[in-house]
Amino acid sequence: MARPRPRDLGIIFGAFEPGKHNAITDVPGVGVGHFTLVEGEGPLKVGKGPVRTGITVILPHGGNIFRKKVQAGCFVLNGFGKSAGLHQIRELGTIETPIALTNTLSVHRIADAMVGYACSASPEIGITTGTVNPVVGDINDGFLNDIQGRHLREEHLLAAIRDARENLAANSRAGKAPAAGLPPAEGNVGGGTGCSCLGFKGGIGTSSRKLPAGQGGWTIGVLAQTNFGGDLIIKGVPVGALLKRQSPGEPETAFPLPDPPGSCMVVIATDAPLDARLLTRMARRGGLGMARTGFYSASGSGDFFIAFTTANPVPHDPECQDLRFPGATEGGPRSIPTSDAGESSSAQVSAESKAPLLLRREVLPDEAMSPLFAAQAEAIEEAIINSLFAAETMTGRDGNTRRALPIEKTLEILKRHAVL
């Protein structure tokens, strides 16, 4: 039986309303899928287990992401991690593959599998067009998992991608376009399977916010892979420290345990019309939402934030690179509107023109960003707490155990502090 989410128990984070499912998939077109691998028990035997790991995939949209890229930004708060693809996001401001979240020592294997997936969908990659930039984030799940065994394979990534596509297809069949994905599973699933967070069992958590119409009506969704240290804080109450003081001799209440080295991956999605610079501004502020939960960015924690928008997609279209405008001069390039696919009408273009094509897109001004920043902080905070409420106690290699957050005792503490 699934554990309740905090909001279902009356724990409300911030002032903005969540989306329909309070999940990253409330952003239209975004899908999430998981592959979870749990095998074996007992002492660690490298290459054999026990295995407590997985892959979580975020689809920015349901089409060919290499051919129709999304604008993106990223930020590294503490760089103790092995994530792949962030350099090109910073340089070009786009994402061109699904985003995969897994464990640290499986990053390169999953990145290789992502290249294979992209080349299968776009056989021209590296032959008649440029290469592809796989985006893979990581956390260290070695406390519970046989991380050296690198048990994840290409077929596991493909299974997670299929699950994400099914997540989108479920609502597409209901006639919604663009599709809004169903709420993804949280807790001990996918890339969150072996996570430890704030001394408890961590995992995958998600949340969303919907801005009022007067502030644009945009949706901001967050998915977090929580595997970091600190003392748990919920709505300003030091829950972790208070749980330590309650019956410290009882195993089920001796929380939290010391934290192993870990990391946190936070993926932020929105349908607001932003460019790479504004998305980088959002990513740079991701740690503010995390800090509300007791996070402090330990030396051995890799803390990474990726933000993208489903608005203003960027076409990968080599033919467009040589298009010119009618009447353009050598020193004066002109812009023309683009279709949803980012393609211009051939009737508007003259082969004799020498000015390069400029794509014109609507982008929010900086002055409109503050509500997005505030909503994002709320969603990140709630996504992290959602991961803790969803995660269940797990025993992994060598009997190492991460206990679930004790919900009833947590509620008692929050009631004593007038939070509930």
Amino acid 336: pLDDT: 35
User: Distance between CA atoms of 79 and 102, rounded to whole angstroms?
Assistant: 16
Contact 419, 234 (CB under 8 A): yes
Place of tokens 């033919």: 319
Amino acid 248: pLDDT: 58
Phi and psi dihedrals of 237, rounded to 5?
-95, 130
Distances (CA, A) of 318 to 132, 274, 325, 328, 359: 14, 24, 17, 21, 14
Between 123 and 251, the higher pLDDT residue: 123
pLDDT tens for each residue of 249-285? 555 444 555 555 578 999 999 999 999 999 999 999 9
DSSP code, position 207? E
What's the burial of 288, exposed, middle or buried (CB within 10 Å: 0-12/13-18/19+)?
middle
120 is catalytic: no
Region 398-420: mean pLDDT is: 96
The mean-pLDDT minimum among 161-165, 171-175, 247-251, 352-356 falls in: 352-356
H-assigned helices in 126-193? 154-172
pLDDT tens for each residue of 363-401? 999 999 999 999 999 999 999 999 999 999 999 999 999
User: Which member of 141, 303, 353, 387 is catalytic?
Assistant: 303
Smallest CA-to-CA distance from 305 within 265, 275, 261 is with: 265
Going 37 to 38 to 40 to 44, the CA torsion angle's sign is: positive
User: Which member of 83, 196, 208, 301 is catalytic?
Assistant: 301
User: Distance between CA atoms of 134 and 156, rounded to whole angstroms?
Assistant: 16
Amino acid 338: pLDDT: 39
SS3 content of the chain, % helix, strand, coil (to 5): 30, 25, 45
163 is catalytic: no
For the chain, the structural domain boundaries read 6-316+363-416
340 is catalytic: no
User: Distance between CA atoms of 114 and 108, rounded to whole angstroms?
Assistant: 10
Between 180 and 6, the higher pLDDT residue: 6
Would you state the structure tokens that stand for residue 299, as one six-digit string?
A: 């030396």
Q: Is 35 left (phi over 0), alpha (psi -120 to 50) or beta?
A: beta
In this prediction the pTM is 0.89
CATH 3.60.70.12 fits 6-316+363-416, yes or no: yes
Could you write out the DSSP letters of every residue in 71-120?
Answer: EEEEEEEEE-S--BSHHHHHHH-EE-S-EEEEEGGGHHHHHHHHHHHHHH
pLDDT tens for each residue of 54-106? 999 999 999 999 999 999 999 999 999 999 999 999 999 999 999 999 999 99
Amino acid 250: pLDDT: 55
Smallest CA-to-CA distance from 22 within 206, 152, 242 is with: 206
Residue 322 has pLDDT above 90, yes or no: no
Structure-derived torsion over alpha carbons of residues 47, 48, 51, 57, reported in degrees to the nearest 10: 50
Contact 136, 110 (CB under 8 A): yes
User: Which member of 83, 196, 263, 387 is catalytic?
Assistant: 263
User: Distance between CA atoms of 50 and 124, rounded to whole angstroms?
Assistant: 40
Would you state the structure tokens that stand for residue 253, as one six-digit string?
A: 């209440």
What's the burial of 1, exposed, middle or buried (CB within 10 Å: 0-12/13-18/19+)?
exposed
Amino acid 332: pLDDT: 40
Non-local CB neighbours of 249 within 8 Å, separated by 6+ positions: none
Packing angle of the helix pair 154-172, 107-121 (nearest 10 deg): 60
Amino acid 375: pLDDT: 98
Amino acid 194: pLDDT: 97
Residue 256: cis peptide before it, omega within 30 degrees of 0? yes
